[in-house]
Amino acid sequence: MSEEEKVTPEPIAKPTFKWMGLTNQWDVRVEPNEHGLRLGDLNVGIYGEVPEYWEDQTRRPRGSVGRPGIPPLSYSLRYKHDVWADCAADLYEEAIQRQWIPATDVPWNTLETLPEEIEKAVCQVCTELSQYANSEIEIISHWQDEMSYGFHEVKQYLATVFFDCARHVEALRKRALSNGGGLGIESKGVANRMILQSSGGWTESVAYLYLVRGTYVFHLIKGLHNSAHNEAERFIYKQMLQDHARHLTYGYDHLKYAVTHKDGQTQIMETLLAVGEGIMARELDTSLIRPAMAIIFGEGLEGAKTKGMDSYLALVKDFVADYVEICGWLGIEKTGRLNPALQQYLDL
Amino acid sequence: MPVFPSEEWFVAVREEYNKDPSLHSGGGGACDTVSGLEIADRFYRIQFEGHQCVDIHESSKTDIEDLDFVISMPEETWRKMVKDIQKNGKASALLTLNSIDLSSEESIAYSPIDDQYRQDLFYRYNQNFQDLMDASARVETSFE
């Protein structure tokens, strides 16, 4: 290239300051209260206007000035009733305050050698519960990508759930690999598949993830907590219980919002749950969590056949009873309409 | 010496709990709720704000619709828990609110208006309540 052909670079642009006058609302002074400065406190003026439908298809933060020419992104969840729960901002604050560190918070030195059959049962439960948590991570990450930025409280809250689940996977794996055992057999994944293949919208996934499977998981963790063999296990399950209670709170609250704000959603839910109940019943039948929990409750193989199994069945009965009650709270009548495979647990 | 259960006893426990942040570790986070404690025919309203228990007083079991949830256990179970805390410095494994809840036929917490969202607060906050109850290890207690 000759000297004449060399391209002269464009000069560095001089800064402009026209943007400084552009704002939708200025002079906002949200002040902290006795609880500090919380996410929900920022919902003042236009910044607190959560639309029923978010027109914008960009990553524009709610309340900021839109910029012409930004190519649209493919957000499919643009109605408030697709994602919303009034408690999301509060749950976000609660979640970030209640983090725990499995590496150092769990009193690992309290682990003691357990009879091999019990260690195997604990490790099997840890294996399958960690898969449950992984499927929760996957389904949330899938739908996060589809959620509009108009509902940023929900997006932020779900980011904490994502992290909670990662921590559950971590803690369960650590428990399985720290007491002379090891990971057990992979779950058949019946319920995991139901959740991961729920493609009709986030609400459908929430119904399966939290109302159907999550309610069961909650009872499982409670059972594990009450049967903990040492302080380390007790701490893990106690913290998981608290985290999972937050997850369920969002899940139930979102479903309530959806059925009360979207025409026909109750009927859709009835159809979805009829399918989900059958799959959940199959999960209960095929998962190795059942015999493993019976061993834990029965304190060994012998006890598993009697009081262990009885305790597990009582746990499932409690789960189904809770499920029916929450459905009722959502306006979905289940009495007389429950899948017979789940009804049998109620009839025990 | 404060008698369990009584308003005097709960106020003494509250003071112990509020003045020592090391007692706030179990919950690990702020707790904002107005709830109830039901001990046989006695009823106490209790309010948490952040890491503080800002109020607890004896009340009646009427007009409780504003409460998020009520923890209700047989008096004998309450006494067993408090005695265990007195003896061990904190509730032992099978006498925590979490454990008692599981081993009970029905949940020990209920929402006065059957609101699932508010009922779930019990599971999100019961560690804060446990911390408060564990603070009673520092209160010399009479059981009459």
- What is the pLDDT, as a whole number, of residue A2? 61
- Structure tokens given for A178: 């720290």
Averaged pLDDT of chain A: 95
Give me chain B's average pLDDT, please: 92
More confident residue, B57 or A335: B57
Of B102 and A71, more confident: A71
Alpha helices in chain B (DSSP H): 7-19, 75-88, 97-103, 116-134
B64 burial type by CB count under 10 A (0-12 exposed, 13-18 middle, 19+ buried): middle
Cα separation, A265 vs A282, in Å, equals 26
Residue A347's SS3 state is: coil
More confident residue, A43 or B115: A43
Q: Does residue A33 lie in a domain region?
A: no
In a domain, A43, yes or no: no
| Structural domain of B59 | 7-138
| Residue whose token pair is 């112990």 | B16
Among candidate residues A278, A76, A276, A288, the one with its CA nearest the CA of residue A195: A276
CA A242/CA B126 separation, integer angstroms: 9
| pLDDT tier, A132 (very low <50, low <70, confident <90, very high otherwise) | very high
User: Who's near A215: CB < 8 A, 6+ residues apart?
Assistant: A248, A319, A322, A323, A326
pLDDT digits (tens, 9 = 90+) for A66-115: 999 999 998 999 999 999 999 999 999 999 999 999 999 999 999 999 99
Range in A38-47, A284-293, B106-115 with the lowest mean pLDDT: B106-115
A306 CB neighbour count, 10 Å cutoff: 11
On whether residue A132 sits in a domain, the answer given is: yes
Residue of A87, A91, A98, A224 to mutate when probing chain B, most B C-beta within 10 A: A98
Please name the residues in contact with A251: beta carbons below 8 A apart, sequence gap of 6 or more: A206, A209, A210, A211, A214
- Taking alpha carbons only, the member of A62, A56, A58 closest to residue A44 is A62
User: DSSP class of residue A180?
Assistant: S
A47 and A62 Cβ atoms separated by less than 8 Å: yes
Tell me the average pLDDT across A311-335: 95
pLDDT score, position A277: 98
CATH number at residue A242: 1.10.620.20
Q: Are strands B33-39 and B70-73 parallel, antiparallel or unpaired?
A: parallel
Which one, of A81, A57, A114, lies nearest residue A232 by Cα? Answer: A114
Question: ipTM higher than 0.90?
Answer: no
A227 to chain B nearest CA, in Å?
Answer: 9
Query: For chain B, how many structural domains are there in total?
Result: 1
Q: Where residue B129 falls among pLDDT bands split at 50, 70, 90?
A: very high
pLDDT tens string A135-157: 999 999 999 999 999 999 999 99
| Residue listed under structure tokens 């001089």 | A14
Q: Which residue's structure tokens are 């607060």? A: B121
Whether the pLDDT of residue A43 is over 60: the answer is yes
pLDDT in tens, B47-56: 999 889 999 9
B94 in a domain, yes or no?
yes
Report the pLDDT averaged over residues B82-96.
94
Query: Is A167 part of a structural domain of the chain?
Result: yes
Q: Which two tokens stand for residue A282?
A: 């199959």
- Kindly tell me if the per-residue pLDDT of A229 is higher than 60: yes
How many structural domains comprise chain A? Answer: 1
Classify residue A107: in a domain, yes or no. Answer: yes
Gap from B102 CA to chain A (nearest CA, Å): 6
What domain range includes position A128? 80-346
Give the per-residue pLDDT at A319.
Answer: 96
Assigned domain for B144 exists = no
In Å, what is the CA distance from A29 to each residue of A37, A41, A245, A319, B34? 11, 11, 34, 47, 29
Interface contact A253-B127, CB threshold 8 A: no
Q: Please indicate if any CB of chain B lies within 8 Å of the CB of A102.
A: no
Which CATH number fits the domain that encloses residue B51? 3.30.1050.10
- How confident is the model at residue A60, as a pLDDT? 95
Rg over CA atoms, chain A: 25
Say if residue A1's pLDDT is above 60: no
Model confidence at A4: pLDDT above 90: no
- Going B10 to B16 to B20 to B24, the CA torsion angle's sign is negative
Q: Is A98 on the interface with B (CB under 8 A)?
A: yes
User: How far away is chain B from the Cα of A340, in angstroms, using its nearest Cα?
Assistant: 24
Interface size, chain A vs chain B, as Cβ–Cβ contacts under 8 Å: 61
At B119, the pLDDT band (50, 70, 90 cuts) reads confident
Q: In A, which residues are within 8 Å of B27 by CB distance?
A: 98
Rg value, chain B, Cα:
14
